[in-house]
Every structure is written in structure tokens, then in C-alpha cells.
């Protein structure tokens, strides 16, 4: 009998500091009105300096394990764009801090699609019998790579972490992931990029004034990213729905990557799905990249928008460029 990865726990964490649109308007040429109307975002959380992605990941991981009713896992997959260090990966340290002794642990880099890629990777390991119980985490501290002088990106991103536990189970059970659709187009890599800090351009030195060079910050071409995000998320969602044998109208909740409420509505329109099926929490947390899907799931559970038996479609688009989707029937779980 084939084995499926079944969602059995969900936990999230955002750092306590809330940054409002008004606060950003005091230090850069922007306004609450512009940010709200162009993106839907009203506030986000930013970690205090010194807090790293791994710190948020440990908090979310702990809560997901508690939600799953057991502290056990034999695999940790961590999706992030903002690892604690270029080397080594952040996942082994997070696993150790969670008391998961000698488990397989690695990072996945697919930017905002990272969580879907990480779930696919963990589901593959479970299906192949490599793992029985996987902790899948999406965690980010974008505040560490945002250029304070770039209003086009600084207003969009927030910090946070979300995690799920996937266990080996039956494909017919509620919570079983019903497959994945994944893709990429590397010819568009420059649309979303941190130019320096890798092997192509090792970390740039600070200039004479000690200022951090612009190439070490995150850069995004917003307009084309918007266009590609809509097209790719819609196509990937369609492919996933075909795989699951679901009509778009039969989907109860669409949990898309929380980049921009206009993108989420455009994808729903292209799929022929009512806009009110779309889960939106970006208004309160901004775009948290690899953490955005689990944060949106937990928010929907807390708000009573996601209940056992619901048909749920997940889809994301991010740097690379990359995209991915999965689907499941929502199980009985208590999110933490």
C-alpha cells in the first residue's frame, strides 16, 4: 500500500515587535494609504537585531510538535531565504535545539515557494520510507536583508515562522497531501535577488563610511514579479486541482502565498473561484516569504475559516523564480 504524508501538527511564531505603515512613513517616502491600497498590508512584525531565523524556527517548531501531540520527528526540513549563516544550514541547529537527536536535517532555498518545496521534499522522504515523521518549517527574518532606503521592498516584507508535522499515513486519510505541482524558470532569477554574499559575488566590503553595500540587500522588480506570480500560481493551482480531481468551485479555502491581496484575488479570478474562499492574513504580517503559508493556515484555523473536512488548495510563487502547489482535506488538529 502506498504511504502518504499526513498533516498532524501546526505551529507558528512571530516576533513581538509590530511595525505599522505609519512607523515606516516616518523614515521613508511612503504612506499608509499607498501601502494599504497597493498591497493590502497594514502592519508586519520585525525581529529585534540579534534575533536570527533559527530562533523563530525553534519557537514555531516547538509549537508544531506540541500540536502534533509528540516531540518526536526523524526529519527536519527548513525553508528559508535568510539562513542564520551561509554555511552550515540552519536546520541541524534548529533540530538540536528542539532536542531531536541525530535526525536528518537540511535547508531548502526556494524563496517564497520554499514551504511548498519543503513539504514536497518531506512528503517524498515519507513516501520512500526514509522518514516516518517530518517537521517542516518555513522561517524568515527579511528585516535583516531589507534595504532601509528601498521603499519598494521595505514596506512589503515581515519576519515570522510557521511549521507543520507530517507523519506517514494513508492517502485516503484527512490531512494526506494529495500530490504536488512544482516548477521554476531560472531565466528570471534577477527579478528577485540578493546580488552579493554567494560564490558569484562574495560578500561586498563596507564602503569607507562603514555603510552596508546595496548589493547585500534584497532586490525585487515588483511589476514583472506581480505578473508572473499571478500566471504561475494560477497554472500551478490548476495542475494541482487536476491531480486531486477537484473542480475549482469545490475548493473551500485557497491559501496562497501572502505577497499581495491583489495577486491572491487575481489568481482566484483566473481559477474561477469566489474571492471569499481566499485566506488573507498579509494585512497583519506582510509578506513573510517561506513562512507565509503556515502562518496563513494557522490564522485561518484560529479565525474559524478552516475546519475539518474542508478542501484546501495551497499555492506559492517566489524568487528563482519558483512556484508550487499542493492540496489536502483539512484534518482534525489543534494548531498551537
Query: Which region, left, alpha or beta, applies to residue 242 given φ > 0 means left and ψ of -120 to 50 means alpha?
Result: alpha
To ligand ACO, the closest distance from the beta carbon of 318 in angstroms equals 3
What's the closest the beta carbon of residue 170 comes to ligand ACO, in angstroms? 34
Task: Judge whether 257 counts as a catalytic residue.
Answer: yes
Mapping DSSP to helix (H, G, I), strand (E, B) and coil, where does residue 174 land? coil
Within 40-146, residue ranges assigned H as helices are 53-67, 91-97, 114-127
Residue 174 CB, shortest distance to ligand ACO, in Å, is 30
For residue 133, the cross-strand partners are 167
Q: Catalytic residue, from 21, 112, 180, 260: name it.
A: 112
Instruction: Tell me whether residue 77 or residue 259 sits nearer to ligand ACO (CB atom).
Output: 259
Under 8 Å CB-to-CB from 228, ≥6 apart: which residues?
185, 188, 191, 317, 321
Q: Which residue is nearest to ligand ACO (CB)?
A: 222
User: DSSP alpha helices (H): ranges in the chain?
Assistant: 21-27, 32-39, 53-67, 91-97, 114-127, 151-154, 222-244, 261-271, 282-285, 292-302
Asked if 329 contacts 253 with a C-beta cutoff of 8 angstroms, the reply is no
Scan for cell 509578506, then name that residue: 287
Output the smallest distance, CB 218 to ligand ACO, in A.
Answer: 7
From the list 180, 228, 257, 260, the catalytic residue is 257
Strands 18-20 and 192-193: unpaired
Q: Which is nearer to ligand ACO, 47 or 259 (CB)?
A: 259
Distance of CA 55 to the CA centre of its chain: 16
Taking the complex as a whole, the smallest distance from the CB of residue 273 to ligand ACO amounts, in Å, to 19
Residue closer to ligand ACO (CB basis): 192 or 235:
192
Of 60 and 230, the one with the shorter C-beta distance to ligand ACO is 230
DSSP secondary structure string for all residues of 289-313: GGGHHHHHHHHHHHTT---TT-EEE
Q: How far is the CB of 128 from ligand ACO (least distance, A)?
A: 29
Phi and psi at 88, nearest 5°, equal -85, -175
| Residues within the interface to ligand ACO (CB under 6 A) | 30, 34-35, 38-39, 111-112, 151-152, 155-156, 192, 220, 222-223, 225-226, 229, 259-260, 263, 289, 317-319
> Given the complex with ligand ACO, which of 316 and 335 has the nearer CB atom?
316
Catalytic residue among 21, 260, 281, 287: 287
Has 112 been annotated as catalytic? yes
Q: Which is nearer to ligand ACO, 33 or 242 (CB)?
A: 33
What positions carry a catalytic annotation? 112, 257, 287
Amino acid at each position: 500500500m502506498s504511504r502518504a504524508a499526513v498533516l498532524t501538527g501546526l505551529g507558528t511564531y512571530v516576533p513581538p515587535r509590530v511595525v505599522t505603515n505609519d512607523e515606516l512613513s516616518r523614515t521613508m517616502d511612503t504612506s499608509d494609504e499607498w501601502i494599504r491600497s497597493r498591497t493590502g498590508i497594514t502592519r508586519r512584525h520585525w525581529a529585534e537585531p540579534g534575533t536570527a531565523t533559527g530562533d523563530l524556527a525553534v519557537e514555531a517548531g516547538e509549537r508544531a510538535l506540541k500540536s502534533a501531540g509528540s516531540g518526536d520527528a526523524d526529519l527536519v526540513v527548513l525553508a528559508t531565504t535568510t539562513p542564520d549563516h551561509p554555511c552550515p544550514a540552519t536546520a541541524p541547529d534548529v533540530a538540536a535545539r528542539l532536542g531531536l537527536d541525530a535526525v536528518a536535517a537540511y535547508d531548502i532555498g526556494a524563496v517564497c515557494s520554499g514551504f511548498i518545496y519543503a513539504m514536497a521534499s518531506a512528503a517524498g522522504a515519507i513516501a520512500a520510507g526514509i522518514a516516518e515523521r517530518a517537521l517542516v518549517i518555513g522561517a524568515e527574518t527579511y528585516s535583516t536583508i531589507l534595504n532601509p532606503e528601498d521603499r519598494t521592498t521595505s514596506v512589503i516584507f515581515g519576519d515570522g515562522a510557521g511549521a507543520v508535522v507530517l507523519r506517514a499515513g494513508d492517502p485516503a486519510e484527512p490531512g494526506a497531501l494529495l500530490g504536488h505541482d512544482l516548477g521554476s524558470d531560472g531565466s528570471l532569477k534577477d527579478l528577485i535577488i540578493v546580488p552579493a554574499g554567494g560564490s558569484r559575488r562574495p560578500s561586498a566590503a563596507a564602503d569607507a563610511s562603514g555603510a552596508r553595500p546595496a548589493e547585500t540587500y534584497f532586490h525585487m522588480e515588483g511589476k514583472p514579479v506581480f505578473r508572473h506570480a499571478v500566471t504561475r500560481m494560477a497554472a500551478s493551482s490548476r495542475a494541482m486541482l487536476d491531480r486531486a480531481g477537484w473542480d475549482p468551485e469545490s475548493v473551500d479555502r485557497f491559501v496562497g502565498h501572502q505577497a499581495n491581496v491583489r495577486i491572491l484575488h487575481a489568481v482566484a479570478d483566473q481559477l474561477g473561484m469566489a474571492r471569499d474562499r481566499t485566506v488573507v492574513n498579509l494585512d497583519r504580517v506582510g509578506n513573510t516569504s517561506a513562512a507565509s503559508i503556515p502562518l496563513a493556515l494557522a490564522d485561518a484555523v484560529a479565525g474559524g475559516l478552516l475546519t475539518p473536512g474542508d478542501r484546501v488548495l495551497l499555492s506559492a510563487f517566489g524568487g528563482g523564480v519558483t512556484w508550487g502547489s499542493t492540496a489536502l482535506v483539512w484534518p482534525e488538529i489543534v494548531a498551537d
